[in-house]
Each structure stands twice: as structure tokens, then as C-alpha cells.
Chain A
């Protein structure tokens, strides 16, 4: 198990290294930032001053090594617009994104798996059909439509929840964006769980468990669920990673000061260090989550450890 973890860890570091390299060189393909900041009226000496201040006058290879060295010590540079350290701003904004993403995914995972199990065990019943309708709705209605709908209904008509904004420890501000964000993953997790459970419930070892005299609860939760979780874990982790990278629409609609919004703001301002920082941060998140998921797979399926 330890060897397995170390191996996966090394892979993870390698991937992050590769991602950073690619991002750095892509950013270098973009037009000269010093020129873009100055616009049409730029005089050459000011541009040169800005270039040397930002270190853009050095050769690209030297800048690459500077960038990598700095990045591994946690220095992702300073924003061109706010002049604040990028990492600091990201972490500041990430708090809000993480709160939203984790709370939405916890709800989505619990409800999704519960609905999925129920519809598999009672397949083709009324409950199963209702959950199918719910899931189709959840999957096909875009989140910005649902978000606006919720704002109108709960914020404007019923006036029971604030329509937007973020307040520390203000749980009532969290509810609407969280529910909006959770709706689609709930639906997808429910469908994935259902089909996976249906497969597993007709497996021979489930029949063996029944023949042993195990209760229905034991059969479903001990024997079937663990075998059915593999595709569910994949779905949950993919959704968690993408929500942690920032849910642009939701953050924008609900005025939620998260990372996604930050990236959207940085793009028209050509704030390259911020964009670069957000992309790297998101990549690291994906890698970390995938690393954790690999360990979960190994725990779920004993065959994985040998691989």
C-alpha cells in the first residue's frame, strides 16, 4: 500500500510539473504585457522600464527557471492590476469557492447515492420513475436558469433567502447557490449509482450473500454498495474537482466572491499572473483529488493494489 501511494505521489508531482511548463510557455505566446498595459500612447522608455520591472527583458529560458523556482516556493508572482501576490489573492478567494463546492458536493453525494440505491432496489417502481424525471430535469436545465429561478422564487417572491452576496458564517447566503450547484451532480450521481447498483444486485456474489441468510440491508450496503461505488467515486471526484476550480456562472449570478469569478475578471484585464495562477491552482487541485481518488479505488477494490 505504501509503495502504491509513493508511486502515485511521484506521478502527481510529475503531472504538476508538466502542467506548469505548458502554462508558462502558452502565456509566453501572448502579446507583450508591457505594451498592452500602456496601450496606444506608450513611449518606449516606459515600456522598457515595465519590462525590466516585470523581468520580461530576460531570455525566455531564464524566465522559465525563475518562474518554476518561484512557483515551487509558493510565489506565483504579483497581479498586474492589484499588485498583490497572486497566491494570496487566490487563497483568499478560494475559501468562498471551497465552501460552496464542498457543501454542494456533500449534499449531492449523499442524496445522489441515496436516490440511486432506492431506485435500483425498487427498479421500475413509482419511486424509480419519479427519480428519473427529477434527474432528467436536473441534468437538462442549465444552472444559470435554475439559479435565476431560485432567486425569483425564494428571494423575490417568498423573501425567505437573500438573493446574492457572501457573508462570513452567513449560512442563509450559502443555501441558494449551494442547492443550484448541487442539482446537476445529484441527478448524475443518482443515475450512475442506480445503473451500477442494478448491475451489482444481479451479481452471483449477491445471490451468495442472500443464500447465507444475510438481511436485505446487509446485502445492499455491505455486499452490493461497495462493489457498485467505483463509477460513483469517479463521478463525484470529477465533479468536486471541477466545482473547486470555480463555478463561474453560479459565482457570478449569486455575487459569490470565489476563484471562478476572479479568473473571469482577470481575463479582460490581461492580468496574466492571475490567470496563470488560477490555472495552476486548479491543476494542482485536480491532481490532488485524483491522487486521493486513486487511494479510494485501492481501498474499494483489493485487485487495484497489485497493479
Chain B
């Protein structure tokens, strides 16, 4: 049994401009010790999926209108709020994109790590303090006894993200959701943070959902990848398959837009057109208007996500054509 299984999740936002189907029929699974990379551009629904798992969607205007989120076989969407609270920060930890603003400015970092421990475990204050210091050490913060007493504004962005990781991991969660954990950080710090997450994953045996728009990050860390576009998963497979055998035109486009050092070109490749707005998705395939492979079928009929090769899922009517016609040099170059 998978550790965490998202099944046909639908999260909609009911706004004045209409219903925004931010997450529409999304399914994925995460196993122990495995990293699932969720990749896609801003607004494609990857963060909303994660917040739905935590049941932290702001309601109103948001609402989870359908699907199941099975965690150890239990549907989180059916749990009473109190039971859900016992899971948040305890069994499922989450870190966010903005380390600069994700810590409360009026409490010391030690206090903020302790809070999480005291919420979920029956330990004394003294014990919680020791564990908080231990967590600071684990995430590689030098002089943890000293840092314990400091306020967030006294730490750098990378340090703060380490503190966020310490908070998220303080109760030994079985799942860690990392929502763009490195986007706001310097490139050198990015690598350190990813390495840290990887390391802790190995020692603690958690499943990790790594949300990012950076294919490079995915390549380094993920075991499996879900590519999201306009509220759907369009391609879902092992990480190598995504890079060497992309079967969805959007994935091909994403890979093509990465600059390559060994191929000379004047301009970067882009994907033509823009993403449809989530309040007005087209009838057929959401990507059809931008897709070089699109046919009248694509405009009329929404493609379902189906397994086309072993362990490789694609939501495209013309995946076989993509496989033949995709520019091979783009694929090989990765």
C-alpha cells in the first residue's frame, strides 16, 4: 500500500469571476523513502494540491469538491478537524517557498520548533528544548544553542529555510511536502537545502513531495515525476522517462525551453501562447491551443491520463506521434 495516495482530487475556488478549477482530477502516490517531483508553471495547481493534502485551502473561497486523499489507508478528507490537526505537522510536515516570511517574527526560532514538538508529543518543556536544539544541529545550523535563542530576522534566508525544515521534521513525519523549498534561495544554498532534504529523507525514511517549477531540481532529487499543466497531471512517470522519453507535448516544450550549453542557438525555445485561465478552461485538451500536434479531436475531447508504456502515464491523444516527431536532440541533451 502506498504511503500517501491522492485520488481524483478536485479543488475548486468559487470566485466572483466564476469557478476556478485549480485542481481537476489529480491523482498521484508517494511511497516511503521515495521522492515524487511535481513540476509545472505558476498557477498550474501544484501548490493547491499540496495544500489540499494538508487541508489548508482557504475556505471560502476554496473547497475540495471531490476525490480522496488516502494516508496510510485513511481518507484525510473525511477526518474531523481535530484528527486532521493531529496529523498536520506530526505525520505530514510541510515547508514553504518563502523562508523570509514563513517564520513568525515575534518568536525565537527555538520557540517555534518547540511549539511543534509540544503540540504533538507528550514531553516536558526541557525535553522539547533539547530536541529543538538537536533538530537545529540536524539541519546543519552551526552553534545551535546560540541560534535557538535568536529571532528570524537575525538569520539569513538559507538559515531560515533550514529552520523551516527543522520545524517540519521535528516530529519525524512520514511525509514531507516541500513546496518550492529552494525557489527564493541563492543557487549555492539551493543545492545545500536539496542535499539536506535528501539526506534526512534517507535517515528518516519519509516520502517526499517536492513541488517545483525547476526541472533541474527534479532531475537531481526526484524518483518519479508528475508534470502538471492547467490543473491536470499531463504526464506521470519515473524521472528518467520524463527526461529521455517525454510523451506529452507540454513536457517536450518544457525540456526544450532549458538552455543547452552544447547547442548553439540565438533564442531560447518557448511554448507559444498562454495558459488558459482556470475559470474558463476549454472543452477539450487544455494544452490544445498551444500544441503543435493538436487536431480537431483535441479541441473536442479531453484526453484522459492513461498508462501508455509500463509505469508511464500520459494525457494526450497523440502521444505516439509525439514519440516519433519530438526533436530528439532536445531529449538526448538532457
Known: A207-B96, A302-B153. A212 touches B105 (CB 8 A): no
Q: Is A95 in the interface zone, CB < 8 Å from B? A: no
B87 and chain A: residue at smallest CB distance = A213
> In the assembled complex, which residues on chain B have CB atoms less than 8 Å from the CB atom of A203?
101
B99 and chain A: residue at smallest CB distance = A204
Interface stretch of the complex, out of B113-121, B286-294, B303-311? B113-121
Q: Is A78 in the interface zone, CB < 8 Å from B? A: no
* Contact with B105, one of A205, A209, A211, A214 (Cβ below 8 angstroms): A205
Q: Residues of A within 8 Å of B, CB-based: how many?
A: 19
A212 touching B96, Cβ below 8 Å: no
B56 touching A212, Cβ below 8 Å: no
The contact string, 1 if C-beta is below 8 Å from chain B, for chain A 191-223, is 000000000000111011111111100000001
Cα A303 to Cα B86 with chains together (Å): 33
A205 touching B153, Cβ below 8 Å: no
A44: min CB distance to chain B, Å: 69
Cα A300 to Cα B105 with chains together (Å): 10
Q: Residues of B within 8 Å of A, CB-based: how many?
A: 27
Q: Is A12 in the interface zone, CB < 8 Å from B? A: no
A211 touching B104, Cβ below 8 Å: no
B89 touching A204, Cβ below 8 Å: no
> In the assembled complex, which residues on chain A have CB atoms less than 8 Å from the CB atom of B75?
none
B167 touching A303, Cβ below 8 Å: no
B97: min CB distance to chain A, Å: 9
> In the assembled complex, which residues on chain A have CB atoms less than 8 Å from the CB atom of B98?
204
Q: Is A226 in the interface zone, CB < 8 Å from B? A: yes
B105 touching A301, Cβ below 8 Å: yes
> In the assembled complex, which residues on chain A have CB atoms less than 8 Å from the CB atom of B101?
203-205
Q: Is A227 in the interface zone, CB < 8 Å from B? A: yes
In this complex, which of A209, A223, A301 has the most chain B Cβ atoms within 10 angstroms of its Cβ? A209
Q: Is B14 in the interface zone, CB < 8 Å from A? A: no
B106 touching A211, Cβ below 8 Å: no
A228: min CB distance to chain B, Å: 11
Cα A300 to Cα B94 with chains together (Å): 27
B56 touching A214, Cβ below 8 Å: no
A217: min CB distance to chain B, Å: 11
A211 touching B151, Cβ below 8 Å: no
The contact string, 1 if C-beta is below 8 Å from chain A, for chain B 68-94, is 000000000000000001111110011
- The SS class assigned to the A binding surface is helix
Cα A97 to Cα B219 with chains together (Å): 72
The contact string, 1 if C-beta is below 8 Å from chain B, for chain A 280-305, is 00000000000000000000111100
A201 and chain B: residue at smallest CB distance = B58
A213 touching B104, Cβ below 8 Å: no
B292: min CB distance to chain A, Å: 39
> In the assembled complex, which residues on chain A have CB atoms less than 8 Å from the CB atom of B239?
none
Known: A204-B96, A303-B151. A214 touches B119 (CB 8 A): yes
A302 touching B96, Cβ below 8 Å: no
Known: A204-B98, A302-B151. A213 touches B119 (CB 8 A): yes
Known: A203-B101, A204-B96, A204-B101. A212 touches B106 (CB 8 A): no
> In the assembled complex, which residues on chain B have CB atoms less than 8 Å from the CB atom of A208?
96, 102-104, 164, 167
Q: Is B48 in the interface zone, CB < 8 Å from A? A: no
A303 touching B104, Cβ below 8 Å: no
A209 and chain B: residue at smallest CB distance = B104
B115 and chain A: residue at smallest CB distance = A212
Known: A212-B167, A213-B85, A213-B87. A207 touches B102 (CB 8 A): yes
B106 touching A210, Cβ below 8 Å: no
B115 touching A211, Cβ below 8 Å: no
B56 touching A302, Cβ below 8 Å: no
> In the assembled complex, which residues on chain A have CB atoms less than 8 Å from the CB atom of B93?
211
> In the assembled complex, which residues on chain A have CB atoms less than 8 Å from the CB atom of B88?
210-213
> In the assembled complex, which residues on chain A have CB atoms less than 8 Å from the CB atom of B164?
208
> In the assembled complex, which residues on chain B have CB atoms less than 8 Å from the CB atom of A210?
54, 56, 88
A205 touching B102, Cβ below 8 Å: yes
Cα A205 to Cα B98 with chains together (Å): 10
In this complex, which of B87, B90, B102 has the most chain A Cβ atoms within 10 angstroms of its Cβ? B102
Cα A59 to Cα B5 with chains together (Å): 91
A229: min CB distance to chain B, Å: 10
B305: min CB distance to chain A, Å: 29
Cα A247 to Cα B209 with chains together (Å): 61
Cα A301 to Cα B107 with chains together (Å): 9
* Contact with B106, one of A204, A207, A214, A301 (Cβ below 8 angstroms): A301
B102 touching A212, Cβ below 8 Å: no
Cα A201 to Cα B102 with chains together (Å): 12
> In the assembled complex, which residues on chain B have CB atoms less than 8 Å from the CB atom of A226?
106
In this complex, which of B88, B89, B106, B119 has the most chain A Cβ atoms within 10 angstroms of its Cβ? B106
> In the assembled complex, which residues on chain A have CB atoms less than 8 Å from the CB atom of B89?
211-214
Cα A213 to Cα B85 with chains together (Å): 5
B102 touching A213, Cβ below 8 Å: no
> In the assembled complex, which residues on chain A have CB atoms less than 8 Å from the CB atom of B168?
211
B218: min CB distance to chain A, Å: 23
> In the assembled complex, which residues on chain B have CB atoms less than 8 Å from the CB atom of A212?
88-89, 115-116, 119, 167
Cα A211 to Cα B86 with chains together (Å): 10
A204 touching B105, Cβ below 8 Å: no
Given contacts A212-B115, A213-B116, 4 further A-B contacts (CB under 8 A): A207-B56, A210-B56, A213-B90, A214-B89
Which residues of B line the A interface, CB within 8 A? 54, 56, 85-90, 93-94, 96, 98, 101-106, 115-116, 119-120, 151, 153, 164, 167-168
Q: Could you jot down 17 A-B contacts, CB within 8 Å?
A: A204-B101, A205-B102, A205-B104, A207-B96, A210-B88, A211-B93, A211-B96, A212-B89, A213-B89, A213-B90, A214-B85, A215-B85, A226-B106, A227-B106, A301-B106, A302-B105, A302-B106
Which residues of A line the B interface, CB within 8 A? 203-205, 207-215, 223, 226-227, 300-303
